[in-house]
Chains A and B, each alone.
Chain A
């Protein structure tokens, strides 16, 4: 049962759109062009991201393999962030987008706590050009582009064509065909969020939740610097 949503889940509903993304992990080369495209499209500040590409290595030299895992908001059909938002600042669009109304957001960060994918961040207050700050932000599936018949910026720029976007309710669409014919999975299906970002042929080790702290010296150092920069703690109220 879905409660507290502004639009009913549209996946599989005839006559309705349900935008979705397929990410073919066989094609991702970890170039981070999608991350840069998003940064450019929205002037995303330093330290926060709308989309990321997680990187991991398995094996030991000389048999080493690098895995890439693009991550973004999953635009869930049953989004817990929407249900928990006290002001309906985050809401569900009838075509499946999960969007954010900056003018309503109080940055209580309930949506961040609710999201199992760490897909949300707080925009800093002291931005130089774009004046939107002190509110929670997230990937929008580039709704402003999609409504003009374009694909999201990350899809447009993906040079390996690892990201494929479309209406999963449209039986002629590529995403519909890929989800129907390929070995796809979604992240944390057990949480009941019905995520709409599908991954083709992921390595199980990079889909399952990993609980470990950073292992390599470089990652440990990065993590320490990150938390030191943010009030020296894992607990802080964003970059407000």
Chain B
């Protein structure tokens, strides 16, 4: 159909998939770092890795900014979404929240250096809300596209938040292991968070599959594309490696108390957190590429 003429591009390339992953990870790493100041005793086990988590979160944010800007056709105009703010565009909100999130991280860090508990608490609360907005706005960025049925789905922002919880917590876990191992309390806390996020991912994955099975013409087409072009990434890396393997590790008592295995579960979940978003981003664009 429609032979012999021109072909269309998928406008959003790998930079966006990587950005979605990194900014979500940065956000949830900060939430973990700020949680002792925000939630008090219940999050105390994260205190040991607080400084390293803060630094890593800031570094990721520093990587994300140029990554996003370099993807623009007019990188020198990167402030325009704030200057010419358009309230119905999630990208405008994201551009506004991104520097505010950076400021909150620095504010929290400054509070820690000054040993100012009040500053840490309020910058932690504000920063955590802004951190939550990072995966939320990237999910909304897809959800608002009424013409892309794979994206136009209210579970997408929730999915992106949950995937970021997995990758952020996994990063905190890796930091904990690299800085001399995790305590029993920290292992338990990370296990609980990972279990919740990977468990929700499992149900959202099944929800996505069922939605596509019973979907409209475009959703059925997306299903075909996912299986034909991204089968390895969807079934093996997202479902098996990114969801089933970590769930098994986190469920079995003999494995879930081992800090190294919990970290492995987190890293496996992070692989799925990346590939799930990548598949959704790409397949959503491919459904209309020949139209």
Contact = CB atoms under 8 A, between A and B. Distances in A.
A56 B73 contact: no
Given A110-B89, A223-B7, A206 B84 contact: no
B179 interface: no
B91 interface: yes
Nearest to A211: B221
A214 B84 contact: no
B88 interface: yes
Interface string B75-88: 00110110110111
Contacts of A86: 80-81, 84, 86, 89, 91-92, 95
Contacts of B83: 87
A216 B203 CA distance: 41
Consensus secondary structure, chain A interface: loop
Contacts of A150: none
A108 B9 CA distance: 14
A237 B86 contact: no
* Chain B residues touching A, range: 35 or more
A238 B8 CA distance: 10
A153 B2 CA distance: 24
Contacts of A49: 6
A80 B147 contact: yes
A88 to B, nearest CB: 5
A134 B1 CA distance: 31
A214 to B, nearest CB: 6
A57 B3 contact: yes
A52 B147 contact: no
A117 interface: yes
Contacts of A215: 1, 3
Interface string A171-209: 000000000000000001001110000000000011001
A116 B146 CA distance: 9
Contacts of A213: 290
Interface stretch (B12-20, B118-126, B167-175, B249-257): B12-20
B287 interface: yes
Contacts of B80: 86-87, 89, 104, 106
15 contacts: A55-B5, A87-B80, A104-B80, A106-B81, A108-B71, A110-B141, A115-B147, A134-B74, A193-B147, A205-B1, A213-B290, A219-B3, A234-B286, A235-B9, A237-B15
